[in-house]
Amino acid sequence: MRKCPVILLLLVITSWAGAQVNKDYPMDLAPKDRIMGAIMGVLIGDALGVGCHWYYDLAILKDDFGPWISGYVDPKTDSKNSFVAVARKRFQEGVRAGDVSQTGQIFVLLLESVAEQGTYDRGDFASRVDAFFKTIDGTNYSGRYTDSAMRETWKNRHAGIGWDDLKVGSSAITSEAAQMGVLLAALFYKKAEDVAEQVYRNTTLFYRNDFAIGQTAAYALAIAGFINGVPLKDIKSYPRSIPAEIRSRVAPYADTLTQIETGAAVAWDPAITFDPPRLIAQVYGAHCEIQQLLPAAYYLIHRYPDDFETAVLTAVNSGGNNMARAALTGGMSGAMNGLSGIPKRLIDGLKDHQRLLRLAEKVAAIQSRRP
């Protein structure tokens, strides 16, 4: 008789694991809802992370912001955090709760370009970036803080390298272009090959190494799959649906396109136990490299497929480069759950949210007119 409770417990665990495998995001949302959710999801994730960015010591993160960050916060200028100088710089620049980072500013430039031009106009966007580059000096402590990919690109542009030269971009392996890729996935989601081509064109403005380019393409293709309503269990196959000749150029490392399945393995395999989920960055890495950020984001959207708030806030509370991790998670979860699945308080708390919503709606309207 003593074995019965154990057997019952095993049955419960098995049932729970099976339920997790079959759990999915809402399948009945309109593309407009998903497109606007993806766009706003990136901006919300970015803004949630900018005030508590680059805390590699989770004990200090807890001391500064409490046991769970649940919303937008101001940068702490009196912290013991090793990156307190960045927080002070941002605070001096006027960054407060609900503001986006410099990466978010570049994302908004692309959003404005697409909304105004009615398509992705590489030249128009590049000219806007040139204008923005005039407001910074190419060092890390310029603007709201300039990351390595933008510093290198700024330097190359000031050296006279043209935007059409593949040497103009950075050798960095960060995630700025992946976040921009959400917009292009939203714009061209009806055809996977168009997503891959346009994301490649945009990514090569800022990156020149195949690794970052391939990771960015794979992420954007996943976004497109979610907007198309591809079930979560099948999403790993969607990035590989592009023609071989395109795949060999935009993602020459074939395994890159299947990386999203690592999220399913960790989140759904009952043999793998991992708790609490906010420690995911300690597993994959808490730093700025895209190969550390994306696996954590892939895990979170599998762990919380129908819960935008928990997925994104878990990314924020994971520490390290939580800003990029939350933006990447927000882009996917927003595409999965739609704008309607994002809590109103997170939308309303984002600075300039009404204008950003109008721009996102314009992007969605552009796509609705495409064949």
Each residue's pLDDT tens digit, 203-230: 999 999 999 999 999 999 999 999 999 9
Pair 220, 238: CB distance under 8 Å: no
For 29, the token pair is 């949302």
Is residue 231 over pLDDT 70?
A: yes
**Percent share of the chain, pLDDT over 70:** 93
Q: In sequence order, which ranges of 118-164 are alpha helices (DSSP H)?
A: 122-133, 148-158
The region of weakest confidence among 209-213, 259-263, 331-335, 358-362 is 259-263
Q: What is the DSSP letter of 51?
A: T
Instruction: Give the rounded percent of residues in the chain with a pLDDT score beyond 90.
Output: 85
Beta strands in 160-223 (DSSP E): none
The pLDDT assigned to 16 comes to: 36
- Residue 14 has a pLDDT of 34
Grouping H, G, I as helix, E, B as strand and the rest as coil, residue 360 is helix
What is the chain's mean pLDDT, rounded? 92
At 259 the pLDDT is 87
What pTM did the predictor assign?
Answer: 0.93
Pinpoint the alpha helices (H) of 254-352: 261-268, 280-284, 290-303, 308-316, 322-337, 344-348
pLDDT at 12 over 70: no
| Domain total in the chain | 1
Lowest mean pLDDT among 50-54, 267-271, 292-296: 267-271
208/210 Cα distance (integer angstroms): 7
Can you tell me the mean pLDDT for 11-21?
38
Question: Which CATH number fits the domain that encloses residue 241?
Answer: 1.10.4080.10
Angle at 239 between CA 234 and CA 245, to 5 degrees: 140
Domain carrying residue 245: 3-368
Q: What is the pLDDT of residues 285-331, one digit of tens each?
A: 999 999 999 999 999 999 999 999 999 999 999 999 999 999 999 99
Whether the pLDDT of residue 103 is over 70: the answer is: yes
Q: What does the pLDDT read at residue 369?
A: 57
Alpha carbon of 340 to those of 28, 286, 366: distances in Å?
A: 12, 30, 20
Q: Residue 344 above 90 pLDDT?
A: yes
Confidence of residue 272 (pLDDT cuts 50, 70, 90): confident
